[in-house]
Structure 1
């Protein structure tokens, strides 16, 4: 005989583990695309990379969903009623962090989680802060200290780690400080 076809490989793999059928088929489709793609054709290469990226995202979302006890659809696109619940936010943060570590950009992460790129960055930062154990609120004094270190030329992440605060909490404190400053300025002019 010869080498089994992709179809035969897929059917055999599905018999072994039917839960992973779509993932197995997607991997075999990528292998078939690689076999038929011309290496000099940039369009085929981009399409192949998009398939790989989508497969990676789907694996991460499925894994995070099972780790956090949520359906993959809830991780990717939570219903409006529960999207702000802590366990859903942390599951989405965990998925964003894993995607970022896999080399995906914040824009791709945002699209994968059905939100904007900046929210994808915030999700990723929140999980990093969770892993570092710095999810406690940041005081104004700590925020000013981080701001001074950044003004001296340090990166935000280095300044936050030196002060001992989380990046996501620091950025949230900056927003509230700006809002308070704008309110006081409006009252002074009013």
Structure 2
């Protein structure tokens, strides 16, 4: 098939391929607009790719939860605002995603976490949680805070609450285990006495 375009037409820059990766669902609301103060608030804590992506998502969710419009789903607001929260390496990542490849907020979160918190890091932190041990000179409270910190670093660890408590209890030195056992016994004796 012959190409009948003129030389000038062939030399023009293409106009396709400039679509964003994020697809924003149609918003059928009257008088809807993102206000500059909300954009500024999102931009006040930009993610560059070097920080904890979970903390970034927590902050972003907190900020976007402050905005409500009766006819606009919060997920649409999040999809509109998220690019404003990125800079540097993170902005480059989003720009390199294929056009129209992110259709929902869950898609975006999944791709974002997989990019900046790869499965190898999840495996590493899951192993640190599973093999957690109280340090020799560490107090009970210090060990508890350090353990909770590991859980916060990897919120998708998949351990049930019972498994977490069991892991922590088994990591304690015998004195702290005895103290917990005593406290638990006192609590269960109190509860038993209330029944009678």
Q: Give the TM-score, by structure 1 length.
A: 0.28
* Higher normalized contact order (CA 8 Å, seq sep 6+, divided by chain length): 2
Q: Give the TM-score, by structure 2 length.
A: 0.28
Give 1 or 2 for the bigger CA radius of gyration. 2
